[in-house]
Amino acid sequence: MRILFVGDVVGRPGRDAVEALLPGLREQLDIDACVVNGENIANGIGITPRLADRLLAAGADAVTLGNHAWRREEIGAYLASSPSVVRPANFQVGAPGRGLAVVEGRDGTRVAVLNVLGSLYLDPAHSMWELVDDLVEEARAETPIVVVDVHAEATSEKVALASWLDGRVTAVLGTHTHVQTADARVLPGGTAAITDVGMTGPHDSVIGVQTELAIRRMRTGMPVRFETASTGVRLEGAVVTCDPATGRASAIEPVRVPWP
Ligand SMILES: [Fe+2]
């Protein structure tokens, strides 16, 4: 079984790239199931119900989020009833939505998708370490194929989580930094991991933001309204190959596709 995970879709350029590329990539890469991180799709920050539906229509079987999940208020009610769009599990108890979804791939094979938030700079209500074991157990009761999106700033947290879950999940894939890392590997227990899958959006930028605006804010310390950049667009992510009977991964390959 082959699972495509698409990294953080940023703004209109990212959305256009996903809509243009994903149907063809699913064919070309022989993809059975696809998960897309969509937390930056609404003008660079957050997601709306309409945009979540567009990702699903473009070929995502599940959508994950991150620290900007609540930036667009209207997504709360949507998440409360969505079977396939998840937000980090370690938000406040009682927040709408869930951090675990079980979706069906191409031939009906069930894939569990988990989303957790790291601690550094992101200040989740609960540490992911407090609940990730229970979530993984819940997922494994449904299907052996379990994909974890760990949305985190610190490489250390993401590498540590991958090792902790090695042998219990199919993949631990990092998101949030928007810079693809060169450490895709399958760990000894059969868990595929990469510290960050990268960004689907404009790479002539500072992680998606117009370069000049990002530098001005850093240099002056003054508030600067960020705008999404527009050029150097790439779809980035990773493809995980696994045994559908056991959920064990046998390979992980990073993906970087320029668009147009
Ligand atoms: Fe993020």
Cα-to-centroid distance, 170 and ligand 1 (Å): 22
Name the catalytic one among 68, 151, 176, 178.
68
Identify the helix (H) or strand (E) that includes residue 14.
Answer: helix 11-28
Give the pLDDT of residue 190. 98
- How many angstroms separate the CA atoms of 142 and 22, rounded? 27
For the record, the structure tokens of 194 come out as: 């990469």
Q: What is the pLDDT of residues 156-184, one digit of tens each?
A: 999 999 999 999 999 999 999 999 999 99
Q: What is the pLDDT of residues 197-247, one digit of tens each?
A: 999 999 999 999 999 999 999 999 999 999 999 999 999 999 999 999 999
Give the pLDDT of residue 82. 97
Give the pLDDT of residue 237. 98
Cα-to-centroid distance, 160 and ligand 1 (Å): 19
- How many angstroms separate the CA atoms of 196 and 183, rounded? 9
Q: What is the pLDDT of residues 122-148, one digit of tens each?
A: 999 999 999 999 999 999 999 999 999
Give the pLDDT of residue 214. 98
Query: Span 23-35, mean pLDDT?
Result: 98
Active-site annotation holds for 68? yes
Cα-to-centroid distance, 67 and ligand 1 (Å): 5
Q: What is the pLDDT of residues 89-112, one digit of tens each?
A: 999 999 999 999 999 999 999 999
Give the pLDDT of residue 230. 98
Phi and psi at 146, nearest 5°, equal: -130, 120
Beta strand pairing status for 185-186 and 192-194?
A: antiparallel
Give the pLDDT of residue 99. 98
Give the pLDDT of residue 51. 98
- CA neighbor of 258 nearest in space, from 177, 203, 195, 178: 203
- How many angstroms separate the CA atoms of 24 and 22, rounded? 5
For the record, the structure tokens of 113 come out as: 């998708």
Q: What is the pLDDT of residues 35-91, one digit of tens each?
A: 999 999 999 999 999 999 999 999 999 999 999 999 999 999 999 999 999 999 999
